[in-house]
Amino acid sequence: MSEMSGSEALIESLRVEGIKHLFGIVGSAYIDALDLTPKAGIRFVGVRHEQSAAHMADAYARLTNAPGVCVVQNGPGATNLVTGIAAAYHAHSPVVAVTPSPLSSQLFTDAYQEANHVAIFSSITKWASQVNRADRIPEFMRVAFRAAMSGSKGPVLIDIPRDFFYELVNVDIFEATRYREMNIGSGDPAAIERIAERLIEAESPVIIAGGGVLWSQCANDLLELAELLTIPVVTSYGHNDAVSTEHALALGSLGRGGSKAAMEICSKADLVLAAGTRIGQFTSLPYYDFQYLTHKSRIIQIDIDPRQIGRYFPVEIGLSADLRLALRAIVSSVQSKMERARPTHRTRTNEIERARNEWQREIATWMPETHPIKPQFVYKIINEVIPRDAIVTLDLGSLTGFAYSLLAFPERRLIAPLGFGNVGFGYPAGLGAKIAKPEKTVVSIVGDGAFSMSIHEVMTAVQEDIATVCLILNNSAWGAEKANQMYFYGKRYIGTNLVNPDFAAIARCMGAYGERIDEVDEIKPSIIRALEQDKPAILDIMVDPNELSLPARRDALKEPVRMIYR
């Protein structure tokens, strides 16, 4: 054991985990620990709102497949963190949130900036707890990192009374490999054999590739299985990057704004292999006016979390396993059951090509080079000019909804809001992405409403020298809700139209590069100029206010009934 202060125990616990960045806002309660970060080789990235710290840590974790860590002041700092942690929870992102609390002698007295952090965060974390003795700080941190990174990943919260940072303790700090399991294996061998048999026997199988493909880094293994049996591959909502969109068997994303080709092929499937996806609500909700997944579908589901098996759809076979190892085992079993290399299934290949080509022809008609600027045309230009391995972060809204069908992901990564669906995610996520992968081009695509919620982080980008490009698709509206009013409420727009400032001018005042774009022929050169800047860049692109994607929740909206207000 070594003698150290509570602050040193905390920072040393982070250091041995390989943590290089902390996201947050400085606070007096943990300022002693913050003072140690430079000597530990940890960079503190100060944000302008705590929610952004969580979004940055979330994106950082998704891209590095390692924990993202945020630390904020107790009370209002912690409550400001809630939305970002909830988003990480829905995204299964291993975010470790550290909060201080009042002096241990003042707990539960309504002390200054006191809030019951553990109670607040318990329902949106895998584990939340308050350290009860200073000498247990390393132990609690070990539990936190193990919970965040083991099995189905997710955020955790550790709360530390502020006097514990100064207390001297005798503790041991262990390397991560000494206290957590590193993989859970390929699952039940009998189930592997049955899965292989079902896939071989199926007439029209489909693979849904989910976020587990990204966390397990097994896209090549999944595609090897698909190629072996000529199985089309679609992706779950928000995970368009799970497999390359250039692959001949890839048909795009399910869910809101996704690929009609993917949905059509799914609707005809006699067997669905759900690989690393729970097939949740936004992956399976009806879109383009037809239901493409039903409870009648025969489903094989592989997920690292046994709680997700059959949670939304009953399954024929459920397997809880590490997806990469399970896929390797399935490929091996399929190969052993085939007397010779199976030839390409020509009927399936022709059907995949037909569906893909018809869909590409349809969406090409969405992108006219007209004025006012169509948001769909902006995506056409984005595909042409950003690098094929760029990182794209999205926000929520009608205009970013087009991205799920129009953006190509040859080698690009996608960081999307996913299941929590909070506005204000895209820009701070882009900053976290750039810190995680500084060698990559990072482009954030947001609406004007979303940027209004995160414009303050332009100051963070400037101060921390985070050179991302943010494209604001500006239609002066809360577009997703305006679409609901357009389709269901007779175009009675209440609360959805916005009066915006010149975002580019504000960005320039903050020290960033900024341009406002009003004409179609300005889009490409402006994006190219922004990409060439060695500083944060904001492009305010004025788009057609009447061009909105279909409502996301037509499954939950209906024509209103009026009894007294007719």
pLDDT tens readout for residues 83-107? 999 999 999 999 999 999 999 999 9
Please state, rounded to an integer, the average pLDDT across all residues of the chain.
Answer: 94
| Measured distance CA(281)–CA(239) in Å, rounded | 14
Q: Which of 34, 42, 63, 149 is nearest to 432 (CA)?
A: 63
Any residues with CB less than 8 A from the CB of 201 and at least 6 apart, and which?
none
Where does the pLDDT of residue 566 fall: very low under 50, low under 70, confident under 90, or very high at 90 and above?
confident
pLDDT (average), residues 15-43: 97
Residue 315 zone, left/alpha/beta (φ > 0; ψ -120 to 50; rest): beta
Q: 45: which strand partners?
A: 23
pLDDT (average), residues 58-72: 97
Q: With 80 as the cut, is the pLDDT of residue 180 above it?
A: no
Single-letter code of the amino acid located at 452: S
CB 329 within 8 A of CB 186: yes
Q: Which domains does the chain have, with CATH numbers?
A: 2-178 (3.40.50.970), 189-357 (3.40.50.1220), 366-542 (3.40.50.970)
| Measured distance CA(536)–CA(465) in Å, rounded | 7
Q: Which of 231, 254, 257 is nearest to 242 (CA)?
A: 254
| Measured distance CA(135)–CA(399) in Å, rounded | 51
| Measured distance CA(266)–CA(231) in Å, rounded | 11
Q: With 90 as the cut, is the pLDDT of residue 3 above it?
A: yes
State percent of the chain over pLDDT 90.
85
Q: Which of 404, 541, 548 is nearest to 483 (CA)?
A: 548
pLDDT (average), residues 346-360: 94
Q: With 80 as the cut, is the pLDDT of residue 321 above it?
A: yes
Per-residue confidence (pLDDT) for residue 559, from 0 to 100: 80
Per-residue confidence (pLDDT) for residue 449, from 0 to 100: 96
Considering Cα of 211, then 213, then 215, then 220, what sign does the dihedral take? negative
Distance of CA 13 to the CA centre of its chain: 27
H and E: helices and strands count for the chain: 22, 20
Q: With 70 as the cut, is the pLDDT of residue 186 above it?
A: yes
- Which two three-digit tokens encode residue 531? 């990409």
pLDDT (average), residues 458-473: 98
Per-residue confidence (pLDDT) for residue 557, from 0 to 100: 77
Q: What are phi and psi of 296, to 5 degrees?
A: -85, -10
Per-residue confidence (pLDDT) for residue 217, from 0 to 100: 95
The 10s digit of each residue's pLDDT in 509-548 is 999 999 999 999 999 999 999 999 999 999 999 999 999 9
Per-residue confidence (pLDDT) for residue 189, from 0 to 100: 93
Per-residue confidence (pLDDT) for residue 346, from 0 to 100: 87
Q: Between the CA atoms of 54, 56, 57 and 62, what dihedral angle is there, to the nearest 10 degrees?
A: 120
Per-residue confidence (pLDDT) for residue 340, from 0 to 100: 57
Per-residue confidence (pLDDT) for residue 216, from 0 to 100: 94
Comparing 222-236, 318-332, 406-420, 544-558, the range with the smallest average pLDDT is 544-558
The 10s digit of each residue's pLDDT in 219-260 is 999 999 999 999 999 999 999 999 999 999 999 999 988 999
Distances (CA, A) of 422 to 292, 397, 428, 479: 26, 9, 12, 14
Where does the pLDDT of residue 505 fall: very low under 50, low under 70, confident under 90, or very high at 90 and above?
very high
Considering Cα of 497, then 502, then 503, then 509, what sign does the dihedral take? negative
- Which two three-digit tokens encode residue 419? 């299941």
| Measured distance CA(32)–CA(547) in Å, rounded | 52
Q: Which of 125, 110, 114 is nearest to 158 (CA)?
A: 125
pTM as predicted: 0.95
Q: 70: which strand partners?
A: 23, 97
Where does the pLDDT of residue 294 fall: very low under 50, low under 70, confident under 90, or very high at 90 and above?
confident
Q: With 90 as the cut, is the pLDDT of residue 393 above it?
A: yes
Distances (CA, A) of 487 to 128, 478, 479: 42, 15, 12
Per-residue confidence (pLDDT) for residue 183, from 0 to 100: 65
Where does the pLDDT of residue 125 fall: very low under 50, low under 70, confident under 90, or very high at 90 and above?
very high
Any residues with CB less than 8 A from the CB of 49 and at least 6 apart, and which?
25, 80, 454, 456, 457
Q: What are phi and psi of 319, to 5 degrees?
A: -135, 120
| Measured distance CA(81)–CA(87) in Å, rounded | 10
